[in-house]
């Protein structure tokens, strides 16, 4: 497959051991190859560098300074911002803990619901397409629009239903009481996100050979046993992917909370991204400090992702 | 798998309840968007007695629907087109070239895939200001290219491996230049993964909220989502108006979903498995 290009690229650029004719053509060809590589890559690399790479590096750089975004004179304060965020900023720590709780709920619930729906839908032949369409539909609607729709349901519809019927458990301060609104946030996130994971699980389930399941049934396995012992081990890669996607998405939650509670009442439902946003754009322009908070978010996501992938990849190998 | 009648019935029941919950908020938004405020508050669940489309004409003006939709379309089309153009070129070449430089550039693209948007939004807004791209629809599209290109390169890079090299060699022997070979021979073969990328990026860009919020200040340049957000903030008790605006905002994607359902689901499954 790779013979021709490899021949040239495996020869180091600067030193050519042979003198004479070949020595001239090889470096030129090599030089040409580099040029053509750069020509193909340049548009992507330039735009990517400007809007993603440099901001990433810049954010990390500023996180060690006391820059306020305006003053050209700023100084390095080492880990000062990080220490302040984690030790002296209860709002940030609360937002962090609130987000972690949210992530935990989402990872479990989103995947359980998505997998159950996928498995159930898979057993249907005639109504499969219909259910798939309906369950995925909320995912098409922008998160923020979903949150607004549910604000209507939570603040208007449910209280009215509770009033008119005997279902008094529906009469909650769905949005006003932080204890309840945590679950409101979860409900909307699930409503919006389960369909996406369900599609991935459905695709994985279709890859499980029918013959294996039939063999298990002939051997006398119950449907649940078949699922547990045959199907589930065959779709572990999908489980890993969905856990990864949920974990990554949930740490970055912003729109649902913004649309439903705005972080309130007070800062009781503030998530970490909201705290960063507030620090950077609506408070006192402490860019350095806000950057440190966003670096903390990045590091947390990185750590959890590596742990999750590491653990689940090992499981996958075993299975 | 064969299930007993009872179990099968229970599953149908469970799925039906789930489907009801799934559809419930959309249904409520639709039926209440054609009621008057008074009719709505007497019962949210009752079907409307008379269709009041004036909510829609009001919402239509308030969110500047045609203009906002046009802005969203411009951002999405340029953004997706740019991502595909840049990433296909780079992903193809990086996949075909071996050697340290190519590997280094590829890792440079991949390294940032886990960086959350919130970690770069502060420096990014400053960069956008410095380059004079903030506050413009085209500038916004340009930023989307920068943010989306790494994932697309990753997908192209993997896909190119499945295309035989003989095709390019034949084209070269026939006298095709490198770029010509790419655009005439390779790019059409990349169509399946291009569709996947286009779908994933469309869902992302069309529904995105935070980046337009940070970049756009002039309400004439607002995307659809942003206009609706502003309306929600300004008229937060006028539910009939808000619901009409929400339905108007959700409608285009639902219609697109109706047409391209199969591709969208395939795109998501493929994107996830390769990612």
Say whether both A32 and A181 belong to one domain. Answer: no
What does the pLDDT read at residue A296? 92
What does the pLDDT read at residue A233? 83
In a domain, A75, yes or no: no
3-state secondary structure of A76: strand
Q: Would the CB atoms of B1 and A226 count as touching at under 8 Å?
A: yes
B93, B115, B143: residue with CB nearest A41: B93
Q: Average pLDDT, stretch A187-191? A: 93
Chain A residues with CB inside 8 Å of B250's CB?
140-142, 145
Say whether both A42 and A183 belong to one domain. Answer: no
3-state secondary structure of A239: helix
What does the pLDDT read at residue A13? 42
Question: What number of C-beta contacts closer than 8 Å exist between A and B?
Answer: 279
Say whether both A175 and A48 belong to one domain. Answer: no
Contact A203/B at CB under 8 A: yes
Residue B2: band (very low, low, confident or very high) from pLDDT cuts 50, 70, 90: low
Say whether both A230 and A272 belong to one domain. Answer: yes
In a domain, A209, yes or no: yes
pLDDT digit string, tens, across residues B5-25: 778 888 888 888 988 888 888
Residue A25: band (very low, low, confident or very high) from pLDDT cuts 50, 70, 90: low
What is the complex's ipTM, to 2 decimals? Answer: 0.86
Residue A8: band (very low, low, confident or very high) from pLDDT cuts 50, 70, 90: very low
Tell me the CATH number at A307: 1.10.3720.10
In a domain, A82, yes or no: no
Say whether both A54 and A97 belong to one domain. Answer: no
In a domain, A72, yes or no: no
What does the pLDDT read at residue B3? 62
Interatomic CA distance for residues B68 and B71, integer angstroms:
5
Q: How many helices (H) and strands (E) does chain B have?
A: 14, 0
Please, what is the average pLDDT of chain A?
81
What does the pLDDT read at residue A129? 85
Minimal Cα–Cα distance from B264 to chain A, Å?
Answer: 10
What does the pLDDT read at residue A11? 40
Touching A: B residues 72-111, CB under 8 Å: 82, 85-87, 89-90, 92-94, 96-99, 101-102, 105, 108-109
Q: Which residue has the higher pLDDT, B126 or B43?
A: B126
Lowest mean pLDDT among A1-15, A107-121, A248-262, B30-44: A1-15
Say whether both A148 and A24 belong to one domain. Answer: no
In a domain, A18, yes or no: yes
Interatomic CA distance for residues A266 and A99, integer angstroms:
16
Contact B118/A at CB under 8 A: yes
Up-side HSE of residue A290: CA atoms within 13 Å toward CB? 24
What does the pLDDT read at residue A6? 41
Q: Which residue has the higher pLDDT, A22 or A256?
A: A256
Is the pLDDT confidence value at A3 over 60? no
Q: A65 has which bridge partners?
A: A76
Q: How many helices (H) and strands (E) does chain A have?
A: 16, 0
What does the pLDDT read at residue A319? 54
Say whether both A109 and A157 belong to one domain. Answer: yes
Minimal Cα–Cα distance from B70 to chain A, Å?
Answer: 17
Minimal Cα–Cα distance from B146 to chain A, Å?
Answer: 4
Minimal Cα–Cα distance from B272 to chain A, Å?
Answer: 7
Residue B255: band (very low, low, confident or very high) from pLDDT cuts 50, 70, 90: confident
What does the pLDDT read at residue A64? 87
A47, A133, A196: residue with CB nearest B146: A47
Q: Would the CB atoms of A43 and B7 count as touching at under 8 Å?
A: no
pTM of the model: 0.85
Say whether both A21 and A123 belong to one domain. Answer: no
What does the pLDDT read at residue A283? 64
pLDDT digit string, tens, across residues B183-218: 888 899 989 889 888 888 988 899 899 899 888 888
Chain A residues with CB inside 8 Å of B269's CB?
199-200, 202-203
> The domain containing residue A257 runs over which residues?
89-318
Say whether both A233 and A152 belong to one domain. Answer: yes
B86, B94, B250: residue with CB nearest A47: B86
Q: Which two tokens stand for residue B90?
A: 């780079």
Q: Which residue has the higher pLDDT, A103 or A231?
A: A103
Q: Would the CB atoms of A149 and B2 count as touching at under 8 Å?
A: no
Touching B: A residues 9-28, CB under 8 Å: 9-10
What does the pLDDT read at residue A48? 92
Q: Would the CB atoms of B116 and A298 count as touching at under 8 Å?
A: yes
Q: Which residue has the higher pLDDT, B27 or A22?
A: B27
In a domain, A77, yes or no: no
Minimal Cα–Cα distance from B257 to chain A, Å?
Answer: 7
State the total domains in chain A: 2
In a domain, A5, yes or no: no
Say whether both A145 and A44 belong to one domain. Answer: no
B128, B145, B273: residue with CB nearest A47: B145
Residue B142: band (very low, low, confident or very high) from pLDDT cuts 50, 70, 90: very high
**Is the dihedral angle over the CA atoms B84, B87, B88, B89 positive or is it negative?**
positive
Say whether both A215 and A264 belong to one domain. Answer: yes
Which residue in chain B is spatially nearest to A46 when comparing CA positions? B146
DSSP characters for B195-250?
Answer: HHHHHHHHHHHHH--HHHHHH--SGGG--HHHHHHHHHHHSTT-HHHHHHHHHHHH
Say whether both A38 and A163 belong to one domain. Answer: no
Q: Which residue has the higher pLDDT, A271 or B59?
A: A271
In a domain, A147, yes or no: yes
């Amino acid at each position: 497959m790779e013979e021709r290009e490899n021949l040239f690229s495996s020869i180091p650029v600067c030193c050519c051991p042979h003198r004479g004719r070949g020595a001239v053509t090889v470096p030129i060809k090599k030089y040409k190859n580099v040029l053509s590589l750069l020509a193909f890559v340049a548009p992507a690399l330039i735009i990517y560098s400007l809007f993603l790479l440099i901001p990433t590096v810049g954010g990390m750089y500023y996180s060690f300074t006391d820059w306020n975004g305006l003053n050209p004179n700023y100084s390095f304060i080492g880990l000062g911002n990080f220490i302040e965020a984690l030790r002296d900023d209860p709002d940030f720590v609360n937002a962090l803990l609130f987000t972690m709780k949210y992530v935990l709920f989402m990872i479990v619930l989103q995947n359980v619901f998505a997998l159950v729906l996928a498995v159930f839908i898979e057993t249907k032949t005639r109504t499969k397409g219909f259910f798939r369409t309906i369950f995925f539909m909320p995912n098409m609607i922008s998160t923020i629009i979903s949150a607004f729709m549910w604000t209507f349901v939570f603040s208007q519809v449910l209280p009215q239903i509770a009033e008119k019927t005997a279902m008094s458990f529906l009469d909650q301060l769905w949005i006003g009481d932080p204890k309840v609104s945590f679950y409101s946030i979860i409900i909307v996130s699930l409503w919006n996100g389960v369909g996406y994971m369900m599609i991935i699980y459905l695709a994985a389930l279709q890859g499980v050979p029918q013959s294996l399941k039939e063999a298990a049934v002939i051997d006398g396995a119950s449907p649940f046993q078949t699922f547990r012992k045959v199907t589930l081990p065959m779709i572990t890669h999908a489980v890993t992917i969905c856990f990864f996607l949920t974990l990554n998405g949930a740490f970055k939650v912003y729109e649902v909370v913004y649309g439903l509670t705005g972080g309130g009442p007070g800062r009781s439902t503030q998530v970490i991204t909201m705290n960063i946003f507030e620090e950077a754009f609506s408070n006192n322009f402490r860019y350095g400090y806000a950057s440190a908070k966003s670096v903390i978010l990045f590091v947390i996501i990185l750590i959890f992702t590596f742990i999750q992938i590491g653990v689940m990849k090992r499981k996958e190998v075993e299975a | 798998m064969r299930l007993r009648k009872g179990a099968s019935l229970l599953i149908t029941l469970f799925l039906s309840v789930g489907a009801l919950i799934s559809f419930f908020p959309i249904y409520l938004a639709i039926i209440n968007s054609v009621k008057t405020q008074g009719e709505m508050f007497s019962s949210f669940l009752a079907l409307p007695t008379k269709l009041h489309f004036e909510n829609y004409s009001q919402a239509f003006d308030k969110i500047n629907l045609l203009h906002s939709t046009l802005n969203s379309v411009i951002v999405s089309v340029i953004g997706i087109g740019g991502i595909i153009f840049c990433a296909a070129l780079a992903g193809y070449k990086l996949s075909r070239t071996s050697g340290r430089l190519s590997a280094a550039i590829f890792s440079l693209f991949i390294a940032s895939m886990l960086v959350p948007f919130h970690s770069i939004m502060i420096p990014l807004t400053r960069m956008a200001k410095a380059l004079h791209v903030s506050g413009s629809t085209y500038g916004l599209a340009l930023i989307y290219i920068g943010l989306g290109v790494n994932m697309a390169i990753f997908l192209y890079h993997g896909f190119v491996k499945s295309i035989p090299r003989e095709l390019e060699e034949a084209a070269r022997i026939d006298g095709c230049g490198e770029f010509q070979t790419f655009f005439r021979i390779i790019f059409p073969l990349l169509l399946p993964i291009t569709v996947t990328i286009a779908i994933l990026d469309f869902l992302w860009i069309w529904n995105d909220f935070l980046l337009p919020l940070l970049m756009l200040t002039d309400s004439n340049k607002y995307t659809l989502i942003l206009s609706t957000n502003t309306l929600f903030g300004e008229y937060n008790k006028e539910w009939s108006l808000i619901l009409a605006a929400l339905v108007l905002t959700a409608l285009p994607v639902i219609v697109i979903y109706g047409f391209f359902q199969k591709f969208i689901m395939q795109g998501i499954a493929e994107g996830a498995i390769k990612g």
